[in-house]
Structure 1
C-alpha cells in the first residue's frame, strides 16, 4: 500500500574521482569512516532503505514526522557529523598519499523530496519504489554547483518545502529549477550547508554537568521513543505544554526563519506572570540548554539531555544549576531565597515527569506505534 512521506538521499560529492585517483586501501579507510558518520545519524524516525554506491537512501513517513522542521534538523545533524569527521581526519593525518591529499575534494550533498512511495521486497530486502522515488534520483544529476557554486548543499523540492510549511526559511534559500524529460521542471530550493557547520563548530557549549551543584533534583526518566522524538516533547511548546506542570500556557518567540533554534525563547505563563527561557545552546537531538530568567537579573541554567538507549528509547535528564549572575550580591540573594520555593518546584517537576511518561505512552498507543516501528 502506498504511503506518503519524505524521501532523502545523502550523496558523497567527489566519491568516484577520489576512489579512482587514490590508493585503494587508504581511500577505503577514509570512505568507511565517512559512511559511518552518515549512518550514525540516520536514526529513527528516519528509516534507512539502502546504500547505493556513494549515496544513502532513507525515508520518513508523514505519520512519524515529529515536528515540521525535523527534516532540516536531521539534514544539518548528518552534515555536521560528516564534516566534523572529515575535518578531524584532515587535521590528524601526516600521510602524504593521494588518498589523504585528495580528502579536500570530498563533501556531502542532500536531496529531499516529499511524495508517495511503496515498499517492495526484492531478494529479501525492502526497497522504495514509485515515480517520486525515481524523480528524487533524477535530481542527483543536476546543475546546482554550476549555477550556484555551492558544493555542500541540500536540494529540497517545492513539494518537500510545502510539507514542512516553513515559508520564512525557504524565502532565504536559493530558488532552483531542474528540468527532466520524464517529470518536466521540478521547482527546488538550494540550502548551503557550509555555514551550518561553521556555526556548529564556533558555537560555545553551555551545559549543566551532572557533577555540578544543582538547584534541585533533576528529572530523570526513560521514554519509549527515539531521541529525535523525545526531543520534540521538550522543545516543541505544543507538546511541552501538555506535560509541564505549574504553567497555564506556553509560546515561542525569536524564531530563526520560522524555526526554533539558538536564540529562540520559550515564554511560560503562570497566571499573570511569565517565566522566560532563552535557548543558549541548541544541539538537536543531543541536548538543549536554557537560561531561565529569575529575580534581580539572575538566570538558572537548565539542560535537557537525550541519551539513546539500547532498546531504541531515550533517557531524558533535565538538570538545573543554581542561580547565577555577574552581580555577586544578586546571585547570593536569589540563592538564599531559593529554599522558600524549592519544595513547590520539586513537587511540580516530579508531577511533570509522571505526566510526561503518561502523555508519551498515550501518544504511542493512539498512533499505533511500537518501538520496533
Structure 2
C-alpha cells in the first residue's frame, strides 16, 4: 500500500464513527438541507463597540443559535458570525422549518434584551448604538460529504449557492431566505399556511459562475411582538414557558445575594449537587462559566446578569448551557426585602421550548424541574438561616 492509500485509510478510520442518514447517488452526492443563521451587524459591533466583552457576547450568541436546534441539524462550521448547519436526507416540512427559524430568532433576541437591560454596562451601551440581528438562509440540494479525520467537509455547487445567498438584494437585515431548491420541495398551500404571520415575497440575485438564483423571503420583524418584556420581578412570562417557586428567607437581601453568587456553596443547597468546578480567578465576574456535578451528570451554568432596580429589588440571572431537554434556558433569582432581616426569594426557570414531541416526556421533565426547584430553594433557606 502506497503513502496516499495509507493517508486515505487513516482518514476513513478517524471518521468511522460517523453515521450518515442518506445514501449517496451514483455520483457520490447526497441530498441535504443547508441552514445558515447569520448575525447581522457583527463586524461593526466588534470593531466599533470598544467593549472588551463584545467578542464574548458574540460567542454566547453563537451558542444560543446552536442550542436552539430543533431539527436535529448537524454543525458543519462556525464561520465568525454564522453557523453552517446541515441535515442529510429528505427536507423537513416547511411548518417544522419555520418553527425552527422562529425559535432561533426569539432565543437570540430575548438574550440580547436581557443584556440590554443593564443600562450601566459597556455592552448595553454598545448594543444601543450597534444593532445586532439575525438573517437565516435555507437551501436544499445535493452535497458531497468528505470525512477528513474527525472533520466533516461538505462540498459541491449547492454549498457554494447557500454561501452566496448570504449576499442578496433583500432590503433589511432580519429575514428568512428560502432558495427555490427548498421551496420546490413544498406545496404552495403549506408555504402560505406556514407564513400566515408575515408575507412571503419573491426575489432573486445574480452571481458570477452561478447565474440568476431565485428565492423567497420573509421578514422576521413581526416576531418582535412575541419577544419577552424586559425581565423583572413584576413581569409575568407566558405560563407555558416558566416554572416558579417562592419562599421567605430569614436573612437580609444582600446576604442572600452573596450566597447565591458564591459558586463554592452550590453543593450545600442545590438539589443533587455534589461538586462545582470553576476558575477561581474569574469568580464573581459576570459572564463566568462553571460546572456543577449533579445527579450523576454535569450541568453548565453561566452568570449573565446581576441587577438592582430603583426600588431596591435585586435580580441574579444565570444561563443553563447544554441542557438538551430545555435548550437556552435561564434561571432568574428575584430578591425582595421584606424587612431588615427577611427577604422574599422567587426562583424562575424560563425556557423557550422542550426538546421532545412526547407529551408524557414533557410532563415528566417539567415535574422533575419543579421538584428540583422546590427542594433547592428549601436547601438554600436552610444554608442561609444557619449563619
* TM-score calculated relative to the size of structure 1: 0.52
SS at match of 2:52: helix
Q: How far does residue 62 in structure 1 lie from its aligned partner after superposition?
A: 3.3
1:53-92 correspondence runs (5 A)? 53-63=80-90, 65=92, 67-92=93-118
Q: What is the rounded CA distance, in whole Å, between the counterparts of 2:53 and 2:242 in structure 1?
A: 39
Q: How far does residue 14 in structure 1 lie from its aligned partner after superposition?
A: 1.0
SS at match of 1:118: strand
Q: Deviations over 1:54-74 (max 9, x none)?
A: 110001233473x44211111
Out of 158, 176, 184, which is 2:203 matched to? 176
The answer (yes or no) to whether the contact 1:45–1:64 under 8 Å persists in 2 is no
2:156 matches 1:156: no
The answer (yes or no) to whether the contact 2:146–2:154 under 8 Å persists in 1 is yes
Which residue does the alignment assign to 2:167?
141
From the superposition, tell whether residues 123 and 110 of structure 1 become closer, same or farther in structure 2 (CA, over 3 Å).
same
Q: Deviations over 1:122-161 (max 9, x none)?
A: 353102211001011011122212xxxx321111112212
Q: Which moved more, 1:162-171 or 1:107-116?
A: 162-171
2:134 matches 1:112: no
* TM-score calculated relative to the size of structure 2: 0.50
Which residue does the alignment assign to 2:152?
126
Q: How far does residue 17 in structure 1 lie from its aligned partner after superposition?
A: 1.1
The answer (yes or no) to whether the contact 2:94–2:191 under 8 Å persists in 1 is no
Q: What is the rounded CA distance, in whole Å, between the counterparts of 1:199 and 1:51 in structure 2?
A: 28
Q: How far does residue 189 in structure 1 lie from its aligned partner after superposition?
A: 1.3
The answer (yes or no) to whether the contact 1:177–1:187 under 8 Å persists in 2 is yes
Aligned-pair RMSD on alpha carbons? 3.5
Q: Deviations over 1:144-192 (max 9, x none)?
A: 12xxxx3211111122122233242469312111111222111111211
Which residue does the alignment assign to 1:195?
222
Q: What is the rounded CA distance, in whole Å, between the counterparts of 2:225 and 2:139 in structure 1?
A: 26
2:361 matches 1:316: yes
SS at match of 1:316: helix
SS at match of 1:144: coil
Which residue does the alignment assign to 1:340?
none
2:57 matches 1:30: yes
Q: Deviations over 1:67-108 (max 9, x none)?
A: 442111111111111111111111124124697345642111
Q: What is the rounded CA distance, in whole Å, between the counterparts of 2:113 and 2:160 in structure 1?
A: 33
SS at match of 1:32: helix
Q: Deviations over 1:249-281 (max 9, x none)?
A: xxxxxxxxxxxxxxxxxxxxxxxxxxxxxxxxx
The answer (yes or no) to whether the contact 1:69–1:164 under 8 Å persists in 2 is no
Q: How far does residue 307 in structure 1 lie from its aligned partner after superposition?
A: 4.4
Q: Deviations over 1:279-298 (max 9, x none)?
A: xxxxxx97xxxxxxxxxxxx
SS at match of 1:69: helix
The answer (yes or no) to whether the contact 1:6–1:113 under 8 Å persists in 2 is yes
SS at match of 2:76: strand
Which residue does the alignment assign to 1:364?
none
SS at match of 2:185: helix
1:294-309 correspondence runs (5 A)? 307-308=354-355
2:223 matches 1:205: no
From the superposition, tell whether residues 103 and 85 of structure 1 become closer, same or farther in structure 2 (CA, over 3 Å).
farther
Q: What is the rounded CA distance, in whole Å, between the counterparts of 2:96 and 2:141 in structure 1?
A: 17
Q: What is the rounded CA distance, in whole Å, between the counterparts of 2:90 and 2:191 in structure 1?
A: 22
From the superposition, tell whether residues 164 and 69 of structure 1 become closer, same or farther in structure 2 (CA, over 3 Å).
farther
